[in-house]
Amino acid sequence: MKSLRFMLSVVLISLSTAAFAQTDAQKSFDKLKTLAGSWEGPVTTVPLDPDMNGKPTRVTLRVTSRGNALVHEMKEAGKPDDPTRYDNPITMLYLDGDRLLLTHYCDAGNRPRMTAKVSPEGKTVEFDFLDVAGSTEYGHMHHALFTIIDANHHTEDWTYMEPGDKLVRAHLELQRAK
Using CA atoms in the order 44, 49, 50, 55, what is the torsion angle rounded to 10 degrees?
A: -40
The per-residue pLDDT for 59 is 96
Cβ 154 vs Cβ 171: under 8 Å:
no
Higher pLDDT pick, 91 / 178: 91
DSSP of 106-158 = -TTS-EEEEEEEE-TTSSEEEEEEEEEES--TT-EEEEEEEEEEETTEEEEEE
pLDDT, tens digit (0-9, with 9 covering 90-100), for 25-62:
999 999 999 999 999 999 999 998 888 888 899 999 99
Number of residues that make up the chain? 178
The per-residue pLDDT for 50 is 85
Taking phi over 0 as left and psi of -120 to 50 as alpha, with beta for the rest, 74 belongs to: beta
pLDDT, tens digit (0-9, with 9 covering 90-100), for 94-132:
999 999 999 999 989 999 999 999 877 789 999 999 999
Q: Range of 71's domain?
A: 2-176
| The total number of structural domains that make up the chain | 1
Check pLDDT > 90 for residue 162: yes
Q: How far does Cα 90 stand from its chain's mean position? A: 11
CATH number of the domain that 168 lies in?
A: 2.40.128.20
| Bridge partner list, 111 | 133
pLDDT, tens digit (0-9, with 9 covering 90-100), for 60-87:
999 999 999 999 999 887 777 776 766 7
Q: What is the rounded average pLDDT of the residues 135-144?
A: 95
Cβ 128 vs Cβ 143: under 8 Å:
yes
